[in-house]
């Protein structure tokens, strides 16, 4: 029997590293620091690897405020799935989060269409220049000038 409690749905094919990372993210920054210190104490390369990983993934230097938790790589699953006890607010919160996710998806789709249109315009310009170059009369090199 273990004390491992997973608060969010995890893919069944996730490796041990992904499961461990998710578990440490659920516990927060102190769990990462404790794992790093224990790594240094018992097997120093593990502690060093954890330190480099925390710096690389920006988990070391981000603040613990709720507004920045997602941008810093810390999981906020426990905060987003908890209820306040106020049904009206919980409904408002879930509707707002759903609307924001829908707006984000629409914006990402808009950006994709914009990139596709720009790529098509650049390709059309390239093909036009290529066709003009192929249709223009080529000047033969003058044998007397060489």
Same domain flag for 73 and 23 = yes
State if pTM tops 0.95.
Answer: no
Is residue 4 situated within a structural domain? Answer: no
Confidence of residue 14 (pLDDT cuts 50, 70, 90): low
Same domain flag for 68 and 123 = no
The highest-confidence range among 23-32, 84-93, 104-113, by mean pLDDT, is 104-113
**Mean pLDDT confidence for 104-108:** 94
Same domain flag for 17 and 64 = yes
Domain holding 36, by residue range, is: 13-82
18-25 contacts, C-beta under 8 A, 24 or more apart = 22/75, 25/73, 25/74, 25/75
Same domain flag for 57 and 92 = no
Same domain flag for 92 and 52 = no
Of 57, 82, 107, which one is at a domain's C-terminal end?
82
Is residue 140 situated within a structural domain? Answer: no
Same domain flag for 47 and 96 = no
Distance CA 54, CA 51 (A): 5
The CA distances from residue 14 to 35, 56, 124, in Å, are 20, 21, 43
Distance CA 25, CA 58 (A): 12
Please spell the DSSP secondary structure of 10-58, one letter per residue. --TT--HHHHHHHHHHHH-HHHHHHHHHHHHHH-HHHHHHHHHHHHHTT
Same domain flag for 49 and 92 = no
Same domain flag for 60 and 107 = no
Same domain flag for 110 and 59 = no
Same domain flag for 94 and 71 = no
pLDDT in tens, 44-61: 888 888 888 888 877 666
Is residue 20 situated within a structural domain? Answer: yes
The domain total for the chain is 2
What average pLDDT does the structure give for the chain? 77
Determine the angle formed by the axes of helices 29-42 and 16-27, rounding to 10 degrees: 120
Quick check: helix, strand or coil at residue 123?
helix
Same domain flag for 47 and 107 = no
Which range, of 79-83, 87-91, 135-139, averages the lowest pLDDT? 79-83
- pLDDT at position 104 is 93
């Amino acid at each position: 029997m273990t004390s491992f409690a997973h608060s969010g749905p995890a893919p069944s094919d996730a490796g041990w590293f992904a499961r461990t990372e998710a578990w440490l993210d659920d516990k927060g920054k102190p769990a990462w620091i404790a794992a790093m210190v224990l790594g240094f104490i018992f097997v120093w390369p593990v502690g060093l690897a954890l330190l480099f990983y925390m710096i690389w993934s920006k988990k070391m230097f981000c603040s613990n405020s709720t507004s920045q938790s997602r941008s810093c790589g810390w999981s906020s699953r426990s905060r987003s799935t908890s209820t306040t006890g106020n049904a009206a607010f919980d409904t408002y919160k879930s509707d707002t989060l759903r609307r924001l996710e829908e707006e984000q998806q629409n914006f990402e789709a808009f950006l994709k269409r914009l990139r596709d249109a720009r790529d098509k315009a650049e390709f059309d310009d390239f093909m036009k220049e290529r066709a003009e170059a192929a249709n223009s009369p080529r000047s033969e090199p003058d044998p007397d000038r060489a």
